[in-house]
Amino acid sequence: MAKKIGIFSNEQQAISAIEVLKDIGFGPTELKVLAKDQEHSRRLEAETDVDADEVQELAETRDQYNEGRFPLFAAGLGATNGTMNGAAGAVPASNGAGGIFGWFTGSVLGNDEEGIGSTLMALGLDKKEAKECREAIRAGSLIIMVEEDKDNSDEPHSEIGRLEKAEVALRSNGAEMVH
């Protein structure tokens, strides 16, 4: 999957960016919003009808799982087809023990006591993106990820054009950083 990531410290700018992305044809399955917690996502979800994943909640779920207090399959996170399905959508399961929570185990990014960085990597960000987004989320910023499956493109270069439009939408609505 190809993606663009925008970091927003201003909630209204993030809402405006989502509306523009929807207007240019990006659907709910192509947009992923990441927030620190429900306090940081409530208004955005209400005004855009786009679900936001609360990264702190995902990291806490990891902690509960590691402590043996979380029934993984009862929450719908178990899978038999190589993916884990949960609030963040289908995510490839790891080949090692622990499924997706193998990503959440340990300090992938160093000094990651909340598990936010490793949670972001499990959601598809590379190490550098995860580190930058982790710091932004800790500060209360919102992350908007625009993803497009390369295989869904009808024309050989249409994906590039859509993602370039997404980048323009993110930047023109105040994204502090775009990857």
Which pLDDT tens digit goes with each residue over 44-77?
Answer: 999 998 988 888 777 677 656 656 654 544 444 4
Question: What tens digit of pLDDT does each residue of 111-158 get?
Answer: 555 577 888 888 888 999 999 999 999 899 999 999 987 654 455 555
- Which residue in this structure is represented by tokens 């240019």? 24
Tell me the average pLDDT of the chain. Answer: 74
> Does the pLDDT of residue 110 top 60, yes or no?
no
Distances (CA, A) of 112 to 3, 20, 105: 24, 33, 11
Closest alpha carbon to 41 in 59, 20, 18, 25: 18
As a whole number, mean pLDDT of residues 27-48 equals: 89
Report the C-alpha gap between 24 and 21 in whole angstroms.
5
SS3 content of the chain, % helix, strand, coil (to 5): 45, 20, 35
pLDDT higher than 60, residue 82 = no
pLDDT recorded at residue 160: 56
Q: Quick check: 82 and 93 in contact, CB under 8 A? A: yes
Query: Global pTM?
Result: 0.69
